[in-house]
Amino acid sequence: MRLLSVLVLHGPNLNLLGQREPGIYGRVTLDEINRSLEQEGQALQVKISTLQSNHEGALVDAIHAAQGHHQGILINAGAYTHTSVALRDAIAAVNLPTVEVHLSNIYRREEFRYHSFIAPVAVGQISGFGPESYRLGLHALVHHLQQLPAT
């Protein structure tokens, strides 16, 4: 089995997890999610790199820089999911398998959240399971990557 590396991107306001609207997003902090993903990555023998930014351009730059360093991307783009053609285009440009995740079920919320610019260029989308969405997304992405022919 080849050693895989996954870039985990967290979008705007996710740095406030644990205190931001806990009725929707829960009490788990972003640091706790990242530690959990790193532990899960060790169990899966996958290197996990994480980045959170409130700035769209920083996320685009990270997606560009992922090419040649990571085999896949796990992304919770937060509000940029529903607004950012730039993130969508960056993911399409680097052509790295990407799984989109959300803590809340975006389809049970405000109607403007129903549309994702990222979903059409992602392998899949997982939402509504709180922090477990990240773990499920990581497993789905790793499974997908392991099915690809070795390069």
Specify binding-site residues for substrate.
Answer: 76, 82, 89, 103-104, 113
Q: Tell me which of 25, 70, 80, 134 is the catalytic residue.
A: 25
The question of whether 102 is a catalytic residue gets the answer yes
Q: Which of 18, 24, 21, 26 shows the shortest CA–CA distance to 52?
A: 18
Q: Tell me which of 10, 70, 80, 102 is the catalytic residue.
A: 102
Instruction: Cite the annotated binding site by residue number.
Output: 76, 82, 89, 103-104, 113
Question: 123 - beta bridge partners?
Answer: none
- Tally the C-alpha atoms within 13 A of residue 134's C-alpha that lie toward its C-beta: 30
Burial class of residue 33 (count of CB atoms within 10 Å of its CB; 0-12, 13-18, 19+): buried
Token couple for 48: 């996990």
Token couple for 54: 């409130």
Residues ≥6 apart with Cβ < 8 Å to 80: 11, 12, 56, 59, 87
Residues with a known catalytic role:
25, 102
